[in-house]
Structure 1
Amino acid sequence: MARPKIDPAKRRTESVRVSLSPVELAQLNAKAERGETTVTAFVRASALGKSVTVQQSTAPDFATRDDLRRIGVNLNQIAKAMNAQKTVAPAELLAVCAKLDHLFDQWLNHDPKSRQIRP
């Protein structure tokens, strides 16, 4: 199957030559890399006043993950005690729920939505 034809008005047939110092080129390469794009696409976006979106990692940090694991273990112990008809102090249950709320807030806010890099 053939590639769809590009509208001639949108076809990129023109080019511009730009001279940069080695330091400027390194900065440009670094910004393009952070934007996970090519230098050409980054320069084009910059020249046209567009911003480049950087997707940050959505993985939470290991400390938060470890804290959540520990709290999960505590919740499991509380559930087992309740199922075995043992008494569980309401204050203990509320404390665990408060910790969970706090950690979930941290987890969800760990990776704010994509931020914009200014060209």
Structure 2
Amino acid sequence: MNERTPRFRRGGRPRKTDSEKRRLLIAARVRPDELAIIEGRAAEANFPLSDFLREQALTGVIIVRRSRRLSPIDRHDLARIGSNLNQIARACNTTGDTFRARHIEATLEELRGLLRRIDAPG
């Protein structure tokens, strides 16, 4: 077949356009046991390894595990609130004074606000 051969007579796969070509490469380091697992999953899915990895990277689900740590400011606020609650409780137990017990509710509301801040995502 030469250049004069009509296009419909040419055999083989049509050429890809520049936008269809995949030229970039992503590399990842894995242990031999991890590679075996990935290759097994690709084989189960009946995908070539590169297609399997690309599909997983584009559409797969990753479970993000985050451990939320308190900032130093939050730790200080929490310690201060706990100290206030302890002082109020000690005073109420010692004197039997219910007036001070009412302040516990305000302190608890402050604590609840801090806990909401800690539980807030991100």
Question: Structure 1 length as normaliser, TM-score?
Answer: 0.50
Q: Tell me which residue corresponds to 1:46.
A: 57
Structure number with the higher strand fraction is 1
Q: Where in structure 2 are there 5+ consecutive unaligned residues?
A: 1-39
In 2, are the aligned partners of 1:68 and 1:100 still within 8 Å (CA)?
yes
Match of 1:10 among 34, 44, 65: 44
Identity %: 24
| C-alpha RMSD of matched pairs (Å) | 3.6
Given the superposition, is the C-alpha separation of residues 70 and 61 from structure 1 closer, same or farther in structure 2, using an over 3 Å criterion?
same
In 1, are the aligned partners of 2:92 and 2:100 still within 8 Å (CA)?
no
Structure number with the higher helix fraction is 2
Q: Name the SS for the 1:94 alignment partner.
A: helix
Which structure has the larger Rg over C-alpha atoms? 2
Superposed structure 1 runs of 4+ greater than 3 Å apart: 6-9, 11-17
Return the structure number with greater relative CO, CA threshold 8 A, min gap 6.
1
Q: Tell me which residue corresponds to 1:93.
A: 104
Q: Where in structure 1 are there 5+ consecutive unaligned residues?
A: 1-5, 18-39, 113-119
Amino acid of the structure 2 residue aligned with 1:100: L
Amino acid of the structure 2 residue aligned with 1:106: R
How far apart are residue 73 of structure 1 and its match?
0.5
How far apart are residue 76 of structure 1 and its match?
0.7
Given the superposition, is the C-alpha separation of residues 57 and 69 from structure 1 closer, same or farther in structure 2, using an over 3 Å criterion?
same
Length, aligned pairs only: 84
1:105 aligns to 2:116 (yes or no): yes
Given the superposition, is the C-alpha separation of residues 62 and 44 from structure 1 closer, same or farther in structure 2, using an over 3 Å criterion?
farther
Given the superposition, is the C-alpha separation of residues 12 and 58 from structure 1 closer, same or farther in structure 2, using an over 3 Å criterion?
farther
How far apart are residue 75 of structure 1 and its match?
0.6
